[in-house]
Amino acid sequence: MNPLTARPHVVIVGGGIAGLAAAYFLRDEPVRVTVLEGSSRLGGKLSVSEVAGVAVDEGAEALLVTRPEGTGLIADVGLAGERMEPGTTSSAVWTLGALHPLPRRQFMGVPSDLAELARSGVVSGAGAARASQDLELAPTPRDGDVPVADYVGSRFGVEVVNRLVDPLLGGVYAGRSSDLSFDATMPALAAASRRYPSLAEAAASLLPPPAPAGDQDRAPAGTRSGGSVFTTLAGGLGLLPAFLAKASGAEVRTAAMTRALSPRPGAPGAGPGWRLTIGSAAAQELIEADAVILAVPARPAGRLLAGVPGASAAVAAFGEIGYASMAIVTLAYPRPAFPGAGLAALGWSGYLVPTVDGRAVKAVTFSTVKWPHLAGSSASGPEPLEIVRCSVGRIGEEALLQRADDDLARLAAAELAAATGVSGAPAAYRVTRWGGALPQYTVGHLDRVARIRAAVATQPGLAVCGAAYDGVGIPACVATARAAASQVMGYLRGGRQ
Ligand SMILES: Cc1cc2nc3c(=O)[nH]c(=O)nc-3n(C[C@H](O)[C@H](O)[C@H](O)COP(=O)(O)OP(=O)(O)OC[C@H]3O[C@@H](n4cnc5c(N)ncnc54)[C@H](O)[C@@H]3O)c2cc1C
């Protein structure tokens, strides 16, 4: 307890979206809140900067609106008026020598309409024929968690895995379907697949009913009745952290790397609590807290808990969560560099690239097409620009990321030219490296998370939140933040046992 204010002190370690959201959820509680961010800026994987004079997100750029958590925060901090809708979210798959439409009726790449799959050209004729066997095959036995590739492959064959499911999972987790957990990365489909003999039928049960014949071509993938499933902010999603920090009313410190966490040494009347060590060994600072929320990735969370008696099960489970590193290469071209009427004429918001095709870039977003307001903001220059974000690096491809920035930009530009026919070098580029970007929800992830939560629950006034647990998307991170805030408040209100 802080003797000056008599209000319990909650310290949140990590100033990414999860930590800042947790601080925001504590804003009206009778507690003092401090956020300790190790790096020099807030936001973690949310960050925005200019490329060729246009503010373009360096990390997360699209927020799912089918869950309320992210859009709710945006509204709460007064940014609802800044929301921008996508021009199109209709993606392609670059494979078999061409850009093919990503089938609309799919769930994380798992097709529900096998005729549409065949028409898309994403898989070969033989691949489409194999996929249609899903409708006749006997149910696939499944005992416990399995890799996505195993289960989906047993139903549809290897082409659907390689050319659809793996690229979609690669886009979200930078991971591989042969390692990722079916139960953790597609929980709704994993549950539905236990109710339907056919996986296509299970996927269909999770999708809105098909549009009436004739309307189908007007409803691109990624849309729902009443609008798109994604939104962003004019100026970038990277604006959100600063607004959230201000609205939280918390004391927010950057360059405050937390190096150690330990139970507060007993002092008369002090009650249970925590001591955090921040700063360098030469200039270390001790901070006392009544409750602590760890809103950091698995590795730092494990390191911090290593000094906490009784937390060894959590430390072990954190150690089992690997992370993929990646880079975002953002390229800006004059519009006439693209054939025809510019990038929009291609009709896509971007494309995915299957690993089996051996390219460096795994996903491309045509930013000025997906977010038309960006094209508008570039129009102030001498000629309109097209902005493209290329995502490089899947798990295990760290060597690729060792390349120098100009080399990575050249590689991304060359692959873009092969896919789209763009000519000439980009007018400007930016390379953003994300070391330890995305947690890998490999087989057994749900069990690992349960072990972490059970071990953390035995620690008085300790909670965890962030991308390592229930989903890497912003809404899922925000949901864990809300739960962590309510856990520490439950503890502080309940007599601190
Ligand atoms: C390139 C990229 C694109 C993405 N695109 C999208 C998207 O379009 N939509 C979407 O919903 N999601 C997207 N995601 C995922 C999403 O952005 C992240 O999962 C989410 O932002 C993670 O938030 P977090 O707060 O859990 O963690 P982080 O953002 O990692 O924040 C953790 C913070 O803790 C700090 N920290 C670490 N250790 C310490 C310590 N010891 N002491 C103090 N501070 C510490 C770090 O510096 C960091 O700021 C993307 C992710 C990446 C990498």
The predicted structure's pLDDT at residue 52: 94
- Asked whether 354 lines ligand 1 (CB < 6 A), one says no
pLDDT at 79 over 50: yes
pLDDT winner (highest mean) among 167-181, 198-212, 266-280: 167-181
- Give nearest CA residue, ligand 1 atom 22: 467
C-alpha 17 – ligand 1 centre gap (Å): 7
Pick the residue whose CA is nearest to atom 35 on ligand 1.
14
Q: How far is the CA of 256 from the centre of ligand 1 (A)?
A: 17
Which tens digit of pLDDT belongs to each residue from 448-497?
Answer: 999 999 999 999 999 999 999 999 999 999 999 999 999 999 999 986 65
What per-residue string of b and e applies to 325-337 under the rule 16 or more CB within 10 Å gives b?
bbbbbbbbbbbeb
Residue 20 CA, closest ligand 1 atom number: 25
Ligand 1 atom with minimal separation from the 259 CA? 41
pLDDT band at 436 (very low <50, low <70, confident <90, very high): very high
Per DSSP bridges, beta strands 285-289 and 258-263 are unpaired
Distance CA(206)–CA(425), nearest Å, equals 43
The pLDDT, as a whole number, for residue 495 is 66
Q: Is the CB of 216 under 6 A from ligand 1?
A: no
Q: Is 46 in the pocket of ligand 1 (CB under 6 A)?
A: yes
Kindly tell me if the per-residue pLDDT of 212 is higher than 80: no
Residue 268 in this model has a pLDDT that exceeds 70: no
Write down the pLDDT at residue 208: 86
pLDDT at 3 over 80: no
What pLDDT shows up at residue 93?
97
Percent of the residues in the chain that have a pLDDT greater than 70, as a whole number: 93
Span 5-18, average pLDDT:
93
Q: For the chain, how many helices (H) and strands (E)?
A: 19, 24
To the nearest whole percent, how much of the chain has pLDDT over 90?
87
CA of 406 to the centre of ligand 1 (A): 25
pLDDT for the residue 225: 40
Between CA 298 and CA 307 the distance in angstroms is 15
Mean pLDDT, residues 52-72 = 96
If one counts every other C-beta atom within 10 angstroms of the C-beta of residue 165, the result is 27
- The crossing angle, in degrees rounded to 10, of helices 68-76 and 474-493 is 70
| Residue of minimum CA distance from atom 52 in ligand 1 | 59
Asked whether 409 lines ligand 1 (CB < 6 A), one says no
Which residue, among 384, 403, 381, 380, has the nearest Cα to 392 in the 3D structure?
403
Please tell me the pTM assigned to this model: 0.94
Nearest CA residue ID for atom 26, ligand 1? 466
Candidate from 58, 294, 472 with most ligand 1 atoms within 8 A of CB, to mutate: 472
- Look at ligand 1, atom 1, and give the residue with the nearest C-alpha: 59
Query: Does residue 65 have its Cβ closer than 6 Å to ligand 1?
Result: no
- How far is the C-alpha of 47 from the C-alpha of 44, rounded, in Å? 7
Atom of ligand 1 nearest to the CA of 41: 49
Tell me which of 294, 296, 365, 431 to substitute to probe ligand 1's pocket, judged by most ligand atoms within 8 Å of the beta carbon: 296
pLDDT at site 224 = 40
Average pLDDT over residues 336-343: 91
Query: What is the distance in A from the centroid of ligand 1 to the CA of 126?
Result: 41
DSSP letter, residue 180: B
Q: Whose CA is nearest to atom 29 of ligand 1?
A: 44
pLDDT of amino acid 265: 82
**Which two tokens mark 371?**
């977010």
443 CB within 6 A, ligand 1: no
Give residue 244 CA to ligand 1 midpoint distance, Å.
Answer: 15
Identify the pLDDT of residue 222: 44
Q: Is 259 or 220 the better-scoring residue by pLDDT?
A: 259
Mean pLDDT for the stretch of residues 320-347: 95
346 Cβ below 6 A of ligand 1: no
Q: Given this model, what pLDDT does residue 497 score?
A: 53
Q: Which residues contact 143 (CB under 8 A, 6 or more apart)?
A: none
- Residue 266 above 90 pLDDT? no
pLDDT at 153: 98
| Ligand 1 atom closest to residue 468's alpha carbon, by position in its atom list | 26
Q: Which atom of ligand 1 is nearest to the CA of 474?
A: 11
**Predicted local confidence at residue 223, as pLDDT:** 42
Average pLDDT along the chain: 93
Closest CA to 46 of 54, 33, 38, 56: 56
Worst-scoring range by mean pLDDT, 133-142, 329-338, 378-387, 473-482?
378-387
- For residues 435 and 297, the answer to whether their CB atoms sit within 8 Å is no
Q: Which one is predicted more confidently, 459 or 377?
A: 459
Q: How far is the CA of 297 from the centre of ligand 1 (A)?
A: 8
Q: Provide CB contacts within 8 A for 32, sequence distance 6+.
A: 2, 5, 7, 8, 9, 10, 251
Which of 172, 148, 182 is closest to 438 using CA atoms?
172
**Which residue's C-alpha comes closest to atom 30 of ligand 1?**
44
Please identify, by atom number, the ligand 1 atom nearest to the C-alpha of residue 61: 8
Cite the DSSP H helix spans in 158-266.
158-160, 166-173, 182-185, 187-192, 199-205, 240-248
Rounded to the nearest whole angstrom, what is the distance from the C-alpha of residue 352 to the centroid of ligand 1?
A: 22
Q: For 214-230, what is each residue's pLDDT tens digit? A: 554 444 444 444 468 99
The C-alpha atoms of residue 199 and residue 189 are separated, in whole angstroms, by: 8
Residue 2 scores a pLDDT above 60: no
Range from 2-11, 21-30, 80-89, 432-441 carrying the lowest mean pLDDT: 2-11
